Structure 1
Amino acid sequence: MTFQTLLQALSGSALDTLAGFDRRAALDAGLDPARVRAWAGLYDVYFAPTHSRQKQRQAAEKARRRGFSLDQLALIERRLKPVKSARTRAKLRLQLLDAQGDYQALARLAKRLVPGKKKPRRSQVRFSRSRDGKRTMTVTADERDLADLEHAVSREIDPSKPAAPQMLKAFLDLMRGDGTGVPRAVPRPLLLIPLPEWTKIIRGDGDETILGLTDGTTVTGAEFLQRYATEEYGLEAATFHPKEGAVNLYRTKRLANQKQRDLVRATQTVCPVPDCRCAADMCEIHHVKAWSRGGETNLDNLAVLCRYHNRMNDDDPAHPRRGRIEIIDGAPVWRSPRGYAVANEHHPYGAMQTLFT
């Protein structure tokens, strides 16, 4: 196929190429799912059964006569999507199919005829995921409040230097204050030990396990647990089985509910739904087999889930709609509605990945 042949297939009488549209075949061919969805929508508009065959026929005739490309036809349907009335959509579609010019000319006309619905801006604070050790915070609030903040962080700027870094420093000074401002988050130190090595240590063979420290020295497993984990830093030692997951948490005070939460958070450091960046410390504890369906509060039935995904999880595995969490080889994994297990690679430092992958 030449480039000219490709252009003819996507423009001119391109509409008729969708007559035999097959969504599954298009996806299997490696096409962009967004493009496949757009083509599926065009097929429904121009070829699927409808109550208004006359309007459908008129629209198809105009699309062919004007030589609209598939991208132009998809643009029309995107702009018409918010219109609730099918009759109004059909009327506007015929008007847009009378347009002349290229894609941009059609986009301008569509914007005039079908203005997008303006969404009200919500007051909120959002944090991006970490990249190269940095994060971005976005604040949407009352303009007067942010005007006060802008004044506070910019009033002592040196005009001979870039303003943004100076405003950031002033903002952080305001945030920290004189020690009474925002406290620093203190990560919880937790020592992760594969079960076979822990067995050696508690059996009295801890000298066989050598641990390297960041100061360039080494200690045996027994020495580390005795000195650092209990005497100096108050670290806790958690053990994990390569298939069963979290086994136990050894600490001086035994609080069963808190112990389970600690182990579940160590097993998966973020919400396990793909691309979710919500940290385990900010997640809720989720019953993989729902409590209402007989699920127990045991380690092999618990996972961390952010507030949103905890409510979106499919508790009934027989009727999947949005996917659900399962325990696979001791770790929580999201399974899609179509049955695919997909791991969250955003922060791959959970105990099971760290110890056994």
Structure 2
Amino acid sequence: MTRLQDYARQLASPMELLGEVSGAREADLRRLGLSRQEARSLLALADVYFGPTPFTRRQRSCRATKHCLATLKIIEKYVSRTKSKRDAWALRAELCATDQDVERLARTRLKEMYPPRQPEKGVRMTRRKGGPSTLSITGDSDFIADLHASINEEKPLDSVENIFFRGGATARPAATTNIIIQLDELDEILSGGGEEITLRLTNGAEISGAKLVEKRLAECGLVTLVHPYEGAVNLYRTSRHASEKQRLMAGAENPTCPWAECNYPADKCQIHHLQAWKHGGETNMANLSVACPYHNGVNDDDPHAPPVRGRLERRQGRIVWVPPWANSS
């Protein structure tokens, strides 16, 4: 066996190597020519898989893994994010046994183990030594949206100062954003039974159907009844820019930017051509979507070019983000 073959074997099946490392000292490995970083990495792995632990059964099952040395290091990167030894060994055992994508599974399990905490409503002050301070407000999404609507975006701090200290407070704005109601929910809302129905607004807020009935809408307020219907307003190739009616309908279909985990409100989004205008795309509702300025800019417009960031597509009537590693429709 050549040195290269032996090296490859040790990387592909590392448990024999880690068993040999177990009990050694860093100085012993350094004398063999290993760097300080690699020596410490091997010692840490050896301690996990061969060191003393109350979870001996899980440790034995982990030693049977078929993962290579590099993957074991990745596993430990995610295991280090757990909050107890029991959770650490549970995650490690599952990752060692899986033949799926280790990193994707690890991220999924960590989110399940430690779901993000729901922020508490209130006002918090953050003071920084020698720097600006922060006043943050947490509340229901429609309340925050109304607060934000009262602020002049061109001079936000001056606007807040005027509202707080100069008698510039205004009445709470009436809802003039677009409210999206599914047709099958309309009867229940109008009959007063909409407490369990959540409605989305194109300014990013959410309110219950019952709250909508209580909330007074301005005469110019907009309510869109959504029905699975495509191409209601089509400009084809006569104009690149969407009409105001198309903008309203695109926002009704997607109240926020449909890119994965983006919550940018439709009222502030740009109109995106799913098939790019420069590639022959038409300005029809079936080919339009809202997108925040950032994701509209990074979208992979050319379907024939190597994917980089992914792209928005319409699939089964809905706008979805297609990641670069997925097959395009």
- Whether TM-score is above 0.5 comes out as no
TM bracket (short chain): 0.3 to 0.5
Determine which structure has more spread, i.e. the larger CA radius of gyration.
1
TM-score with structure 1 setting the length: 0.39
